[in-house]
Every structure is written in C-alpha cells, then in structure tokens.
Amino acid sequence: MKTIKHSSTRPKNEKGFTRIEVMVAMGIFAIGILAVASMQITAFQGNRSARLRTEAVTRASEYMENLVTQGYDTISDGSATEGEIDLSWTVADDTPITDTRTVTVTASWDDRGGTRTADYSYIIYDSST
C-alpha cells in the first residue's frame, strides 16, 4: 500500500487570489458603491430643486399673464398657493411714471432648508387717459 504525503506548501505553478487580495478588492468595490450612492442622492436633490424652480417660474408667469389681461382698473394685490408654491402679487400705482401701474408677482418655495423666490414685474399703462 502506498501512502500519500500531503504537502503544506503550494506548488509554484498554482495560480489564484489570496483571501487578503479578495478582501482588499471587496473594500475598494464597497467604497466605490458608496460614492455612487452618495452621487445619486445629490442628483435626486438637484432634480427636485430644478422641478420646484421650474414650477414656480411657470406659475408666476401664468399669474402675471392673467393679471395683465384683467385691465388697468381691476388689478389689485393678492396671493395664492398652488402645491408647494406660494404666489403673491402687488400693484404699485404711478410707478415708474404717472398713469402706470407696476405689477410684481413673487413665487416662493422651500428648498433644501431655505426659502427661494422668483419675481416678475410688468408695467401697465392706463390707455383710457
């Protein structure tokens, strides 16, 4: 009967990765995945900010168009809320010159812990005089 002798040393032609190499590679991979996850969160926040800004500017523009078409004598101060956007408008008489009104629409919304605003101004002339 032949006895088989097991050697504790590896033959020189055997190739492969050690556990330490695999663990180092997994650590590098994990750091990369965390960086990508952080980047995705930032992208989501940026998209939300852009959506809110676009919505606010669009709403303010629509309100300005509606106010201007009402006519010189019927425009007055006011406010409204649409979704996450607060709108307010003011009317200043005889500004910048006599027989004009300056209408300013302000849209405001909360974004990343602060309040953002967008303003539109339009001058209306009293054509009845």
Q: How far apart are CA 69 and CA 61, in angstroms?
A: 13
pLDDT one-digit tens code per residue, 32-56: 999 999 999 999 999 999 999 999 9
The pLDDT value recorded for residue 112 is 85
Q: Is residue 106 one of the residues assigned to a domain?
A: yes
Number of domains in the chain: 1
Count Cβ atoms within 10 A of the Cβ of residue 91 and give its class: 0-12 exposed, 13-18 middle, 19 or more buried: middle
127 pLDDT higher than 90? no
Q: Which domain holds residue 69?
A: 19-125
**pTM of the full structure:** 0.69
Two structure tokens written together for 9: 């040393």
Q: How far apart are CA 58 and CA 87, in angstroms?
A: 11
> Mean pLDDT throughout 11-17?
70
Q: Is residue 12 one of the residues assigned to a domain?
A: no
Report which secondary-structure segment, H or E, holds 97.
none
Q: Is residue 52 one of the residues assigned to a domain?
A: yes
Q: Is residue 107 one of the residues assigned to a domain?
A: yes
